[in-house]
């Protein structure tokens, strides 16, 4: 099954198709004068990739001499990332034109980045993890700096680049140490060699460095310093895309690498991971309380959600890892839908030059635009974990998994932090419904469509949580 043949390319056809399509779009962009053409073709490419991923349902295969895996886990993340791509494309379409800097290269970069995230979910070799991480990140550095002649966008891009490259260096050094400790970078070979190893120190250091590097990417504390600045400075559709896809790709790779390759060091790493979770939850939520700008508030909130996602990771070494994976995937789905919805509302209210992003600009939204503020209410409740939203189902299953694994104190911390988070989410609700004001809202067709889809998703998918959870739990890693 493995080797270098055509059947390997067929297994990863969604990724290959997306990459080839992006290259074709580079040519289209070179010869066209209108960015709309590239955007429509990019949307078509994403839809085609979704179809190809659906066809991959139920395959469990390794490709390219076991450097890549295609299994239920990977296909779940493919669909999530592709859906994020489509939603983010919808957000970017109107926004880029409204702000006057629409260019086709934006969509091409996004396609490359999506392919990188998909590759991260499929990676079964540490070098492929590194390459996919860079493929995911480098277009993002450019996208964050996309607004021409805007100091804060360029600064956000530079900061993201310097810290992201720094993190990539850590991941690479960790991979090199693992290679030295085990003589292999394929995850299967690493775990086989680790069982009979004579140098657990190098293995542990390598694993810890990979954790540090990927922790930068998904914005865990204390590697989160770049997040508020970059999220605030980058154009909002890029922020929405980054907040979800960087986390999805990062966590997908993190889980697969650690569950498949490092169960032997789990006893040493679990207290470290638990500490990271608590730090992330506390810092993310407490810092969000002090924010006045909605982009920074959502940035800190996404840090806290990375903490929740990491909580699923604490049990990775135990026998309950399957539940850990399921709760991660389901929470990721809930976070994706809710996050894009909230960013859609932010875009609807944003004015040029970074105005329209303070809480006061939301005052009076409830009276003037009841549907939009009802949508925002749904998203904020979902973030806070209030039923009947998808966020509540995600948190419920997560806490149940953590409790069953015996980490009751961690679940209690999570619940308390959820309550704290309700404070700053409901502050926006207070501004929307109980303050007077005259907000301006842009009502563009694609933006409204995105908002509608995500609102419907947040509420109705909650009704389908059972089947969704079953789907996620079938996505067991093929490597165990």
Partner 1 sequence: MLLDNWLFVGLLVIVAAGIPAIVLVIARLLAPRKPNDAKLDTYECGMETVGDTWVQFKVQYYIYALVFLVFDVEIIFLYPWAVAFDHLDLLGVIAGVLFIFLLGDGLLYAWRKGALKWN
Partner 2 sequence: MVPIEYYVALSAILFMIGTMGVLTRRNAIIIFMSIELMLNAANLLFVAFARMYEALSGQIFVFFVMTVAAAEVAVGLALIVAVFRTKHSINIDEASTLKG
Stretch touching partner 1 by CB under 8 A, among 22-30, 189-197, 285-293, 461-469: 22-30
Structure tokens at 458: 């947040």
CB of residue 210 to partner 2, shortest distance in Å: 12
Which of 31/198 has CB closer to partner 1? 31
Partner whose binding site includes residue 26, from partner 2, partner 1, none (CB under 5 to 8 Å by kind) = partner 1
Contact 129, 36 (CB under 8 A): no
Tell me how far apart the alpha carbons of residues 267 and 198 are, in angstroms, rounded to a whole number. Answer: 17
3-state secondary structure of 196: coil
Stretch touching partner 1 by CB under 8 A, among 21-29, 186-194, 201-209, 346-354: 21-29
Longest C-alpha distance within the chain, in Å? 68
Candidate residues 9, 13, 28, 176; the one interacting with partner 2 per rule CB under 8 A: 176
Partner whose binding site includes residue 68, from partner 1, partner 2, none (CB under 5 to 8 Å by kind) = none
Tell me how far apart the alpha carbons of residues 159 and 144 are, in angstroms, rounded to a whole number. Answer: 10
Tell me how far apart the alpha carbons of residues 230 and 224 are, in angstroms, rounded to a whole number. Answer: 10
When asked if residue 29 is in the footprint of partner 1 (CB under 8 A), the reply is: yes
Q: Angle 151-182/187-195 helices, nearest 10 degrees?
A: 50
Centroid of chain to Cα 296 = 17
Structure tokens at 265: 């060091």
Burial class (CB in 10 A: 0-12, 13-18, 19+), 100: exposed
Partner whose binding site includes residue 264, from partner 2, partner 1, none (CB under 5 to 8 Å by kind) = none
Candidate residues 28, 43, 131, 459; the one interacting with partner 2 per rule CB under 8 A: 131
Strands annotated E in 202-279: none
Partner whose binding site includes residue 179, from partner 2, partner 1, none (CB under 5 to 8 Å by kind) = partner 2
Which of 10/127 has CB closer to partner 2? 127
Contact 379, 429 (CB under 8 A): no
Q: Name the helix (H) or strand (E) containing 12.
A: none
Partner whose binding site includes residue 73, from partner 1, partner 2, none (CB under 5 to 8 Å by kind) = none
Number of Cα atoms under 13 Å in the Cβ half of residue 406: 8
Structure tokens at 110: 């996004």
Burial class (CB in 10 A: 0-12, 13-18, 19+), 357: buried
Partner whose binding site includes residue 223, from partner 2, partner 1, none (CB under 5 to 8 Å by kind) = none
Partner whose binding site includes residue 23, from partner 2, partner 1, none (CB under 5 to 8 Å by kind) = partner 1
Candidate residues 10, 13, 40, 158; the one interacting with partner 2 per rule CB under 8 A: 158
Candidate residues 6, 30, 149, 198; the one interacting with partner 2 per rule CB under 8 A: 149
Which of 227/421 has CB closer to partner 2? 227
When asked if residue 5 is in the footprint of partner 1 (CB under 8 A), the reply is: yes
Using CB under 8 A as the criterion, which residues of the chain lie in contact with partner 1 when the complex forms?
4-6, 23, 26-27, 29-31
**Could you list the residues that contact partner 2 (CB under 8 A)?**
127, 130-131, 134, 138, 141-142, 145, 149, 151-152, 154-159, 161-162, 165-166, 168-170, 172-173, 175-177, 179-180, 183, 185, 225, 228-229, 232-233
């Amino acid at each position: 099954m493995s080797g270098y043949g055509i059947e390997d390319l067929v297994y990863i056809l969604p990724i290959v198709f997306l990459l080839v399509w992006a290259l074709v779009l580079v040519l289209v962009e070179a010869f066209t004068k209108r960015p709309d053409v590239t955007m429509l073709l990019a949307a078509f490419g994403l839809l085609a990739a979704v179809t190809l991923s659906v066809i991959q349902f139920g395959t469990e295969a390794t490709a390219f001499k076991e450097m890549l895996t295609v299994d239920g886990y990977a296909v779940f993340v493919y669909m999530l990332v592709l859906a994020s791509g489509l939603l983010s494309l919808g957000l970017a379409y109107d926004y880029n034109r409204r702000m006057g800097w629409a260019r086709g290269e934006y969509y091409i970069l996004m396609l490359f980045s999506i392919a990188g995230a998909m590759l991260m979910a499929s990676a079964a070799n540490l070098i492929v993890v590194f390459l996919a991480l860079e493929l995911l990140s480098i277009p993002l550095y450019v996208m964050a700096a996309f607004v021409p002649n805007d100091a804060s966008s360029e600064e956000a891009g530079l900061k993201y680049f310097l810290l992201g490259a720094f993190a990539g260096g850590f991941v690479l050094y960790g991979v090199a140490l693992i290679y030295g400790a085990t003589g292999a970078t394929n995850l299967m070979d690493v775990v086989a060699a680790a069982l009979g190893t004579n140098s657990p120190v190098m293995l542990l250091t390598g694993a810890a460095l990979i954790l540090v590097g990927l922790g930068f990417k998904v914005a865990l504390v204390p590697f989160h310093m770049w997040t508020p600045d970059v999220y605030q400075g980058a154009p909002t559709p890029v922020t929405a895309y980054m907040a979800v896809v960087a986390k999805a790709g990062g966590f997908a790779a993190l889980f697969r690498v650690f569950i498949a390759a490092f169960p032997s060091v789990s006893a040493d790493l679990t207290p470290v991971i638990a500490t990271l979770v608590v730090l992330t939850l506390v810092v993310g939520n407490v810092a969000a309380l002090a924010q006045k700008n909605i982009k920074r508030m959502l940035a800190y909130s996404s840090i806290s959600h990375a903490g929740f996602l990491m909580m699923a990771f604490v049990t990775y070494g135990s026998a309950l890892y399957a539940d850990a994976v399921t709760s991660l995937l389901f929470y990721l789905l809930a976070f994706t839908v809710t996050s894009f919805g909230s960013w859609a509302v932010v875009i609807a209210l944003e004015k040029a030059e970074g105005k329209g992003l303070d809480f006061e600009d939301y005052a009076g939204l409830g009276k003037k635009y009841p549907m939009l503020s009802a949508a925002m209410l749904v998203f904020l409740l979902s973030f806070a974990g209030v039923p009947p939203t998808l966020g509540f189902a995600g948190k419920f299953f997560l806490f149940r998994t953590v409790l069953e694994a015996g980490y009751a104190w961690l679940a209690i911390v999570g619940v308390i932090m959820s309550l704290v988070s309700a404070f700053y989410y409901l502050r926006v609700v207070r501004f929307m419904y109980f303050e007077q004001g005259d907000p301006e809202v842009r009502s563009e067709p694609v933006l409204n469509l995105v908002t509608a889809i995500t609102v419907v998703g947040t509420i109705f998918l909650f009704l389908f949580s059972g089947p969704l959870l079953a789907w996620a739990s079938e996505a067991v890693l093929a490597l165990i």
